């Protein structure tokens, strides 16, 4: 009844039922020609026993499948049964530390020196190459049955990925002596690279799943140079349709590289390295979790790493710069033709925040009455996410002059994606989740389509 629903909304709990049924309450009509399955992943449980999670990103991953066929819609949802989920389900209490602030009760004395984080498998889902994978960027993916959503288990992609956390000592022998701590994570945001049928090289390469994993490495050089305690390693992967690694190649970066997403073009990979540092001491001592310990330094530039896909091509790796900002997600990048080695200009559409959102200030303690409910997000305190188009002139020698940017519309947006655009061809339209207000930050309640060339925007708001 309405009173029960009100209590559920005001209180802090979740209802983790798993269901499977045909949707019969339909407004209008489902088009008969609409066929296929939409898979969605996200935090599906925000409490365990009497313990509420501290941040929504710590929620246990739950997959939803919306299957359309012949004018009907079937819905199914199931939790990703990670090892940690199963243990906590059996005990009905929190047993593992999370990334954004949730950890077992007992304070630092109960959590000190336990540096293994819970794989929540809650960030993204990919259906490709005969696999359905639930992704979380700090560990390895979990495979599920596409029809039933039953969890098949952690997937190392044929032994390519070693199980463990995003950390390396820099010594393979020492890493092997730290099981569970040092592993090969996989980004939550891979890219399906579709070949251009007009390109003989593309036809030979075939469709690939292009992705990466990041690892932090303690570095004396970083400490001496004043860039924090860590340098970083990105491991680049290109998987063929059988999930065999056609490319597995390390890229080492100076400083702590907080990179959540990337983009790929015909000839390049692109990463935006946000100017952030990480202090591991409170994490090791059990006082705080990793996301609470990331700090943003607005005095340093944001770096754009432009890396050739083929090291033998003669193309140069570039490190470009823009004023400090923070980028979580990219839409798509493409190359504009010119020059003997191919494109000299790259265009990329990204969502940009003026500064890093302080996760620590958004963490809620179930024992702290002064902290707001997790659902009561203070949107006026969070930097506005704006869609920007960057143009990278690779023929320009100056690292800053090589980058130009424009903001076609000021509305707060996130999760940029592109429509059905032919491989390698330019695009102008970008779709995003968007805020109702055009000039302030508030919850995303609609969908927008922005023309990045003309600036024209169309937005749809379905209502409460």
Instruction: Provide the 10 A C-beta neighbour count for residue 331.
Output: 23
pLDDT confidence bin for 422, thresholds 50/70/90: confident
| pLDDT reported for residue 15 | 64
Are the CB atoms for 34 and 13 separated by under 8 Å?
A: no
pLDDT at 108 over 80: yes
pLDDT confidence bin for 1, thresholds 50/70/90: very low
Average of per-residue pLDDT across 9-26: 75
DSSP 140-193: --EEE-TTT--EEEE--TTTTS-SB-SB--S-HHHHHTSTBTS-----S--EEE
Handedness of CA 327, 330, 334, 340 (dihedral sign): positive
- In the predicted model, what is the mean pLDDT of the chain? 89
Selected residue with higher pLDDT from 55 and 380 = 55
Instruction: Provide the 10 A C-beta neighbour count for residue 346.
Output: 25
The lowest-confidence range among 7-11, 43-47, 350-354, 429-433 is 7-11
pLDDT at 12 over 50: no
388: Cβ contacts below 8 Å, ≥ 6 apart: 349, 350, 351, 352, 405, 406, 407
For residue 52, what are its two tokens?
């509420």
The CA distance from 328 to 418, in Å, is 16
pLDDT at 99 over 80: yes
State the pairing for strand pair 230-239/208-218: antiparallel
Average of per-residue pLDDT across 328-334: 95
Q: Which helix (H) or strand (E) holds 391?
A: strand 385-393
| pLDDT reported for residue 21 | 96
The lowest-confidence range among 330-334, 420-424, 455-459 is 420-424
Q: What is the pLDDT of residues 349-380, one digit of tens each?
A: 999 998 887 766 666 655 554 444 555 667 77
Q: Over pLDDT 70: what percentage of the chain?
A: 91
Q: Where are the alpha helices (DSSP H) in 199-355?
A: 200-205, 220-225, 281-284
Which of these, 428, 198, 200, lies nearest to 334 by C-alpha position?
428
Are the CB atoms for 126 and 39 separated by under 8 Å?
A: no
pLDDT confidence bin for 339, thresholds 50/70/90: very low
| pLDDT reported for residue 364 | 60
Q: Where are the alpha helices (DSSP H) in 276-346?
A: 281-284
For residue 206, what are its two tokens?
């075939």
Q: What is the pLDDT of residues 243-292, one digit of tens each?
A: 999 999 999 999 999 899 999 999 999 999 999 999 999 999 999 999 98
The CA distance from 37 to 318, in Å, is 40
pLDDT at 198 over 50: yes
- Integer distance in angstroms from the first to the last C-alpha of the chain? 19
Selected residue with higher pLDDT from 379 and 425 = 425
Q: What is the pLDDT of residues 129-182, one digit of tens each?
A: 999 999 999 999 999 999 999 999 999 999 999 999 999 888 888 888 887 889
Strand partners, 385: 353
Are the CB atoms for 161 and 184 separated by under 8 Å?
A: yes
Q: Where are the beta strands (DSSP E) in 261-301?
A: 263-264, 268-278, 294-296
pLDDT confidence bin for 90, thresholds 50/70/90: very high
Average of per-residue pLDDT across 75-86: 97
| pLDDT reported for residue 371 | 45
Residues in the chain: 464
Which of these, 136, 128, 137, 139, lies nearest to 164 by C-alpha position?
139
Its pTM surpasses 0.75: yes
381: alpha, beta or left? (left if phi > 0; alpha if psi -120 to 50):
alpha
């Amino acid at each position: 009844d309405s009173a029960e629903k009100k209590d559920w909304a005001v209180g802090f709990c979740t209802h983790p039922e798993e269901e499977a049924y045909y949707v019969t309450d339909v407004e209008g009509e489902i088009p008969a020609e609409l066929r296929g399955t939409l898979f969605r992943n996200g935090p599906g449980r925000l409490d365990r026993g009497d313990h509420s999670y501290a941040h929504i990103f710590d929620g246990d991953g739950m997959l939803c499948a919306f299957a359309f066929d012949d004018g009907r819609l079937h819905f199914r949802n199931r939790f990703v049964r990670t090892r940690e989920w199963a243990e906590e389900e059996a005990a009905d209490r929190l047993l593992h530390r999370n990334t954004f602030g949730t950890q077992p009760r007992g304070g630092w004395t109960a959590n000190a020196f336990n540096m293994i984080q819970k794989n929540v498998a809650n960030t993204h889902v990919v259906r490709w190459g005969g696999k359905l994978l639930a992704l979380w960027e700090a560990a390895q993916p979990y495979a599920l049955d596409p029809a039933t959503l039953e969890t098949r288990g952690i997937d190392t992609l044929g032994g390519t990925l070693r199980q463990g956390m995003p950390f390396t000592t820099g010594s393979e022998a020492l890493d092997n002596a730290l099981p569970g701590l040092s592993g090969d994570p996989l980004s939550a945001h891979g890219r399906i690279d579709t070949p251009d049928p007009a390109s003989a090289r593309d036809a030979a390469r075939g469709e690939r799943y292009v992705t990466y994993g990041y690892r932090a490495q303690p570095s004396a050089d970083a400490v001496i140079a004043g860039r924090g305690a860590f340098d970083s390693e990105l491991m680049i992967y290109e998987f063929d349709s059988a999930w065999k690694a056609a490319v597995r190649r390390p890229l080492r970066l100076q400083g702590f590289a907080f990179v959540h997403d990337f983009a790929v073009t015909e000839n390049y990979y692109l990463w935006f390295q946000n100017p952030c540092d990480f202090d591991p001491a409170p994490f090791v001592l059990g006082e705080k979790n990793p996301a609470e310990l990331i700090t943003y330094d607005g005095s340093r530039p944001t770096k754009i790493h432009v890396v050739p896909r083929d090291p033998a091509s003669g193309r140069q790796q570039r490190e470009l710069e823009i004023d400090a900002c923070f980028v979580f997600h990219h839409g798509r990048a493409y190359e504009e033709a010119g020059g003997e080695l191919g494109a000299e200009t790259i265009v990329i559409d990204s969502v940009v925040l003026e500064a890093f959102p302080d996760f620590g200030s958004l963490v809620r303690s179930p024992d702290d009455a002064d902290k707001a409910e997790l659902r009561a997000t203070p949107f006026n305190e969070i930097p506005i996410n704006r869609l920007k188009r960057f143009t990278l002139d690779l023929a320009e020698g100056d690292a800053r002059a090589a980058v130009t940017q424009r903001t076609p519309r000021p509305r707060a947006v996130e999760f940029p994606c592109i429509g059905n655009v032919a491989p390698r061809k330019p695009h102008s339209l970008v779709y995003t989740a968007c805020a109702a207000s055009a000039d302030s930050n508030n919850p995303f309640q609609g969908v927008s389509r922005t023309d990045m060339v003309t600036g024209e925007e169309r937005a749809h708001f379905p209502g409460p």
